[in-house]
């Protein structure tokens, strides 16, 4: 049974989740205002997964995520200023503004994206883990992907190769039940995702992804198993996306009742209750956390607004490394 260790621990998890939610709520508003363009995939509803799992990784470990990666980057520690500037497409962004919402990168935190082709990150994560193994480094690569990815060939190929070569990669499936608009049961003959992983001879657990403590406990254990040279491991987090797939989704594929049912399990509200019942959260704590986040967001928006655009003269910069070949 997962429990809150102490007040500090509880408030930290709550703060991570609230930071993601408020950041994204603001991002959605900015999208409506025409400040942010392109695709914007919100993580709202799924915050317990990033908040509970990312802290299990050390700074030396690597993270590979998807186009729904705002939460992962925030918890990993990339500054909100850089992330907001990236949403704006400004040169001060975490990918110099070139990637936008789907392509957050941060080399200093070994955050390898923001890779937006479904399942395309799995082979890369396997390779990062292969490099660690060949170097004899006790590092772990955490690879996040959604339930949609399990239909792709790369999912199966990557699980197979990682297990075959006993690579230190932790596969983290954020199962929000829909591959864009297609329900899991409508695209999988075997909807038990953890069972697929077990078929590749690796350990796999299913975790309540709406419970930040359950996520934290399961991930912490899995990371250490992988770090200790036991080969890959697999976690399926059962979670739910409260918002549309992206900003252009009429949500014809699910009922309001279903969404409301899941909202009753809101990971933030339920965890807040847990903390209050344990007398670890006072009203003023909550207000303080909210106020600090609101200030951080305002500063990030101001930073992004004021940040310069990348000059057009730099358009071709970094297509290739700027070095001349030996002749």
Partner 1 sequence: MTKITYREAVRAGLREALQRDLRVFLMGEDVGQYGGTYACSKGLLEEFGPERIRDTPLSESTFVGAGIGAALGGMRPIVEVMTVNFSLLALDQILNNAATLRHMSGGQFNVPLVVRMATGAGRQVAAQHSHSLEGWYAHIPGITVLTPATVTDARGMLLAALQEPDPVFIFEHAYLYSMEGELEENRPVVDISRAAVRRPGKDVSLITFGGSLWKALAAATQLAQEGIEAEVLDLRVLRPLDIGTILTSVRKTHRAVVIDEAWRTGSFAAEVAAQIMEGAFYDLDAPVARVCSEEVPIPYPKHLEEAALPQPDKIVKAVRTLLG
**Contact call for residue 112 and partner 1 (CB under 8 A):** yes
Looking at beta carbons only, is 107 or 252 nearer to partner 1?
107
CA angle 67, 69, 89 (to 5 degrees): 70
The separation between CA 240 and the C-alpha centre of its own chain, rounded to angstroms, equals: 13
Binding piece for partner 1, criterion CB under 8 A, among 97-105, 190-198, 242-250, 268-276: 97-105
Q: Give the span between the Cα atoms of 224 and 167, in whole angstroms.
A: 13
Give the tokens for residue 213: 């403590």
Minimal distance, residue 73 CB to partner 1, in Å? 13
**Contact call for residue 327 and partner 1 (CB under 8 A):** yes
Q: Is 169 helix (H, G, I), strand (E, B) or coil?
A: strand
Looking at beta carbons only, is 127 or 191 nearer to partner 1?
127
Q: How is residue 45 annotated by DSSP?
A: T
Minimal distance, residue 222 CB to partner 1, in Å? 20
Q: With beta carbons less than 8 A apart as the criterion, state whether 196 and 225 touch.
A: no
* Residue selected from 32, 33, 34, 135 as contacting partner 1 according to rule CB under 8 A: 135
Binding piece for partner 1, criterion CB under 8 A, among 12-20, 35-43, 130-138, 207-215: 130-138
Q: Based on C-alpha coordinates, what's the Rg of the chain?
A: 20
Please, what's the b/e burial string for 10-37 (b: 16 or more CB within 10 A of its CB; e: otherwise)?
bbebbbbbbbbbbbbebbbebbeeebbe
Q: Is 9 helix (H, G, I), strand (E, B) or coil?
A: helix
Looking at beta carbons only, is 5 or 317 nearer to partner 1?
317
Binding piece for partner 1, criterion CB under 8 A, among 3-11, 158-166, 273-281, 284-292: 158-166
Minimal distance, residue 236 CB to partner 1, in Å? 20
Looking at beta carbons only, is 165 or 253 nearer to partner 1?
165
Give me the DSSP letters along 252-295: TTS-HHHHHHHHTT-HHHHHHHHHHHTT---HHHHHHHHHHHHH
* Residue selected from 54, 126, 150, 300 as contacting partner 1 according to rule CB under 8 A: 126
Looking at beta carbons only, is 17 or 162 nearer to partner 1?
162
Give the tokens for residue 186: 């409508």
Minimal distance, residue 184 CB to partner 1, in Å? 23
Looking at beta carbons only, is 46 or 86 nearer to partner 1?
86
Q: How far apart, in Å, do the first and last CA atoms of the chain sit?
A: 64
β-sheet bridge partners, residue 171 = 143, 234
* Window 41 to 70, contacts with partner 1 (CB under 8 A): 62
**Contact call for residue 1 and partner 1 (CB under 8 A):** no
Please, what's the b/e burial string for 244-273 (b: 16 or more CB within 10 A of its CB; e: otherwise)?
bbbbeeeeeeeeeeeeeebeebbbbeebbe
Minimal distance, residue 169 CB to partner 1, in Å? 9
Minimal distance, residue 320 CB to partner 1, in Å? 5
* Residue selected from 120, 181, 191, 203 as contacting partner 1 according to rule CB under 8 A: 120
Binding residues for partner 1, rule: CB under 8 A, are 62, 93-99, 103, 105-107, 112-113, 115, 117, 120, 122-132, 134-135, 141, 153-154, 157-158, 160-161, 164-165, 317-321, 323, 325-327
């Amino acid at each position: 049974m997962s429990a809150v260790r102490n007040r500090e621990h509880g408030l930290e998890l709550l703060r991570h989740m609230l930071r993601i939610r408020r950041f994204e709520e603001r991002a959605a508003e900015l999208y409506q205002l025409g400040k942010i363009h392109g695709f914007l995939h919100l993580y709202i509803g799924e915050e317990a997964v990033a908040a509970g799992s990312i802290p299990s990784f050390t700074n030396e470990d690597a993270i590979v995520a998807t186009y729904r990666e705002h939460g992962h980057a925030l918890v990993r520690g990339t500054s909100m200023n850089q992330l907001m500037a990236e949403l704006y497409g400004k040169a001060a962004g975490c990918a110099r503004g070139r990637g936008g919402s789907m392509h957050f990168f941060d080399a200093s935190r070994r955050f390898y994206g923001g890779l937006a082709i479904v399942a395309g990150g799995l082979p890369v994560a396997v390779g990062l883990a292969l490099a660690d193994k060949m170097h004899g480094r006790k590092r772990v690569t955490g690879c996040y992907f959604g339930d949609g990815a399990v239909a792709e060939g790369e999912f199966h190929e990557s699980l197979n190769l990682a297990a075959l070569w006993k690579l230190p990669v932790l596969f983290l499936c954020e199962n929000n039940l829909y591959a864009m608009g297609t329900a899991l049961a409508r695209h999988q003959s075997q909807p038990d995702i953890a069972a697929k992983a077990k078929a590749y001879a690796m350990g796999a657990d299913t975790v309540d992804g709406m419970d930040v403590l359950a996520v934290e406990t399961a991930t912490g254990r899995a990371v250490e198993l992988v770090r200790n040279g036991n080969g890959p491991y697999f976690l399926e987090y059962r979670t739910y996306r409260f918002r549309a797939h992206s900003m252009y989704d009429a949500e014809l594929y699910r009922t309001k009742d279903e969404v409301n049912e899941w909202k009753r399990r809101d990971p933030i509200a339920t965890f807040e209750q847990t903390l209050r019942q344990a007398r670890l959260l006072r009203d003023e704590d909550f207000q303080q956390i909210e106020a600090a986040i609101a200030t951080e967001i305002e500063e990030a928006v101001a930073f992004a607004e004021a940040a310069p655009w990348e000059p057009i003269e730099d358009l071709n910069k970094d297509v290739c490394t700027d070095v001349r070949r030996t002749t």
